[in-house]
Amino acid sequence: MMFARPGKFRWDYVAPYEQVIVSDGIKLWLYDADLDQVTVKSLGDVMAGTPAALLAGDNAIEQYFSLKDAGEGSGLEWLEATPKNRDTTFERIRMGFKGDVLVQM
């Protein structure tokens, strides 16, 4: 994955399904390799409340997520983000930091 704020990123998935998600900050392209299909959407609220918003968003993280300190473990400081909108495909995101650097998500 590669990110540049605000809203620019490329995220390559290999499993469970091969996908490439790219955004230029205005539009979002989703390439599904199995379907050999690209879907294009306005970035707008598509990214809000997603893991990508945490990394490439516009710093309005607390608008979409409840954040809490999740302690230390494995040499990392952990942060847990729970989406405020329950209509998501995930329950929470755990991010492990070493200083200011995101090491694990």
Region at 103 (left for phi over 0; alpha for psi -120 to 50; beta for the rest): alpha
| 36 class by beta-carbon count within 10 Å (0-12 exposed, 13-18 middle, 19+ buried) | exposed
| CA-based torsion, 34, 35, 38, 39: positive or negative | negative
pTM of the full structure: 0.59
Tens digit of each residue's pLDDT (9 = 90 or more) over 9-25: 888 888 888 999 898 98
For the residues 27-34, what does the mean pLDDT come to? 91
Q: Which domains does the chain have, with CATH numbers?
A: 2-104 (2.50.20.10)
CA–CA dist 27, 91 (Å, integer): 26
Which residues share a beta bridge with 24? 8
CA–CA dist 8, 24 (Å, integer): 5
What local confidence, expressed as pLDDT, does residue 34 receive?
A: 93
